[in-house]
Chains A and B, each alone.
Chain A
Amino acid sequence: MDPLLEAFRLIVSGDLEVWRVILRSAQISGSALLIAVLIGLPIGAAVGLSHFRFRGPTVALINTGLALPPVVVGLVVFLLLSRSGPLGQLELLYSPVAMVFAQVIIAGPYIAAVTLAATESVPDDVRLQARALGAGRIRALLLQLREVRTSLVAAVAAGFGAIISEVGAVMIVGGNILGETRVMTTAIVLETQRGNFAAAIAFGIVLLLAAFYINALLLLLGWRATRRPLPA
């Protein structure tokens, strides 16, 4: 059978092994994205909206994170979590937690850097105007972030893009264990090496559809945010 047709059959028929890999990918990348957003977005906003002594080096450091090779991240996390490493006693190597850890390190700088670039373009007038109308500091901050909401959505999309397609780091720290740490990207590598092109194509199609779906969802969220005022 044509590998492409076989790939569609695997997806549509609900092949258990394929769907376990897909769900594990969603679980690991979703968790990593959430944690990366919770860390990267506040850091990016804090640096973007404030002025402090070592701001320049801090910005440079965050932007350097964009150039981090995922395999190097994987190697560092591996060394940290390996038995002889400083976090070895946690016994997290070759676990989904280790993969989430690595993906957070990969996605975090993307989210922080895009957030930083977006928020530093917000004029201070926005904060002054909000404060002058009686807004508290948190409310004023939210109103500042609202000015760049579409860019913040783009930051999340950038973080998602960085981890959903990543293979090097998750391969090193996850080990590609079936049912445990095998995700779509590592599965594609494995099935290609095995010559099982139908399964590799099936994972590839799902990966592309997932990327498209998530980005469309984020786009829609950004669009809705621009159309709707904040609740009073």
Chain B
Amino acid sequence: MDTELLVGERIRHSYGGKTVLDLERIALRPGELLAVLGPNGAGKSTLLRVLAMLEEPTSGRVTFHGRSGKPAEQGLRAKSAAVFQRPHFWRGKVSYNVGLGLSFRRVPVPDAKARVTRICELLKIDHLLNADIDTLSGGEAQRVALARALVLRPEILFLDEPTANLDTAARAGFRQDLERVARQRAGSVLLITHDRNEAFTLADRIAVLVDGRLAQLGTATELYENPVDPYIAKVTGAELSLRGRVLRAEGRTLLVDVDGTQLSTVGHAGEGAMVKVAYRPEDLILSSPDLAIGEISTRNLFFATVRERRDIGGLVRLRLVGPPEVVAVVTRSAAEELDLHPSARVSVRIKATALHTYPAGEREGGFESSEPEADREAASGVTATESGEPERRQPAEVVGDPPGRTG
């Protein structure tokens, strides 16, 4: 069995002399869901079209099962399917549209009908089979598009921002369908998205694309623990509000002065360099300011005053002014225990390994989320569940202490 199903190598693609894609290598493994995450205009959809062999790259090659050229394209056409952001339907009934790909593959009509009915039942759209395609809502249409792709039992399913035009409820339903049905029915999935929650929730691996280049590729945990640049740090929910100067550099360990407070961080920068320091609000550990300093093992400690408190479901988001000024997230019970009201004093700790340092000039990226809550969720480290209850986002491993922990 191939360890890599679909590989793009040295892919360059230009439109009108402007390079929109410049990748050394990207591979989709059998059985995995690879999410390609990036802001609008990063070249994500172009990458999908190139990898799906729907568009010829300016240079580079795509291989499917180790083959390239015409045989690979023919093989991929027969063994893949795609769902686009705005799927196109041909006038007629839902059943006709769902079965269209089967007719291209010359599947006998009785077999095709049975498969169309079965997939529509699985996706709970069987009541729409005889409906006119023009009468569907956005969510229904996208499910029909998913059914049309999955009925082909594709070895690779390409999804190009399938939830971008859906409202929150339809988006949640579509994601459930993806997890419940698509991952069983499709061998591998390449998901294009600019929604970090979608990528982090669904994907086995995430490729972050910025300005047509692959910024980082890894599991959610890898991206979370070791973001290679401020953009990816931001994608994984980090705050980038801290600025400082490197006082001392010893390998990857840096001592940074931030507004007069010295913080031990990790990163690469020379002494005297101006840097940005990224942290996640959930990695800050708050304690009573009276706690004896001798009992605290963390190297980074400072005292701050609560300036603002915002309750987010079962969690509380706090703006703390030290210096430095930071944002923290704690559980509601912890906030009550420490009596974290505006003007309350607290001690703030954070592990050096939870502070990632980047040169001040590096771009943070124009990341956009399809849902307004997503940015807040990412910043707060919580995700709204269907029941409305906030839920801790689940990176496989979290550096440092769990969120909201108080010492």
Contact = CB atoms under 8 A, between A and B. Distances in A.
A133 B54 contact: no
A136 interface: yes
B104 A126 contact: no
Given A128-B84, A229-B96, A134 B101 contact: yes
A105 B63 CA distance: 47
B88 A125 contact: yes
Choose among A129, A132, A135 the residue with the greatest number of B CB atoms under 10 Å from its CB: A132
B104 A125 contact: no
B77 interface: yes
B104 A229 contact: no
A133 B151 CA distance: 10
Interface size class of A (residues with CB under 8 A): 10 to 19
A133 B90 contact: no
Interface in A125-169: 125-126, 128-129, 131-136, 139, 143, 146-147
B96 A125 contact: no
Contacts of A133: 81-82, 100-101, 104, 148-149, 152
B112 interface: yes
B90 A232 contact: no
Contacts of B49: 128
B52 interface: yes
A129 B152 contact: no
A134 B81 contact: yes
A69 interface: no
Of listed B88, B101, B109, residue having the most chain A CB within 10 A: B88
Contact of B90 (A125, A131, A143): A143
Interface string B45-59: 000010010100000
Q: By DSSP majority rule, is chain B's interface helix, strand, loop, or mixed? A: mixed
Given A133-B152, A229-B91, A125 B86 contact: yes
A230 interface: yes
B107 to A, nearest CB: 9
Interface in A90-142: 123, 125-126, 128-129, 131-136, 139
A133 B52 CA distance: 11
B406 interface: no
B64 interface: no
B24 to A, nearest CB: 26
Contacts of A134: 77-78, 81, 101, 104-105, 152
B39 interface: no
Given A229-B90, A232-B109, A132 B99 contact: no
A77 to B, nearest CB: 42
A230 B52 CA distance: 26
Interface residues of B, number: 30
Contacts, number: 58
Interface in B196-217: none
B54 A131 contact: yes
Given A131-B54, A135-B104, A232-B112, A123 B88 contact: yes
A139 B52 CA distance: 18
Contacts of B93: 229
Contacts of A146: 90
A101 B109 CA distance: 46
A226 interface: yes
Given A123-B88, A229-B90, A232-B109, A132 B81 contact: yes
B87 interface: yes
Contacts of B105: 134
A132 B83 CA distance: 8
Given A229-B91, A229-B96, A131 B77 contact: yes
Nearest to A146: B90
Given A126-B88, A129-B84, A132-B81, A232 B101 contact: no
Nearest to B74: A136
B80 interface: yes
B103 interface: yes
B41 interface: no
A132 B158 contact: yes
Interface string B274-290: 00000000000000000
A218 to B, nearest CB: 19
Contacts of A132: 52, 54, 80-82, 84, 158
B402 interface: no
B92 interface: yes
B96 to A, nearest CB: 5
A215 B102 CA distance: 36
Interface string B153-196: 00000100000000000000000000000000000000000000
A91 to B, nearest CB: 49
10 contacts: A132-B81, A132-B82, A133-B82, A133-B100, A133-B104, A134-B78, A134-B152, A139-B104, A229-B91, A232-B96
Given A128-B54, A134-B152, 10 more contacts: A128-B49, A129-B82, A129-B84, A131-B77, A132-B52, A132-B158, A133-B100, A134-B78, A143-B90, A146-B90
Interface of A: 123, 125-126, 128-129, 131-136, 139, 143, 146-147, 226, 229-230, 232
Name the 3 nearest CB pairs between A and B, nearest first. Answer: A132-B82, A133-B101, A232-B103
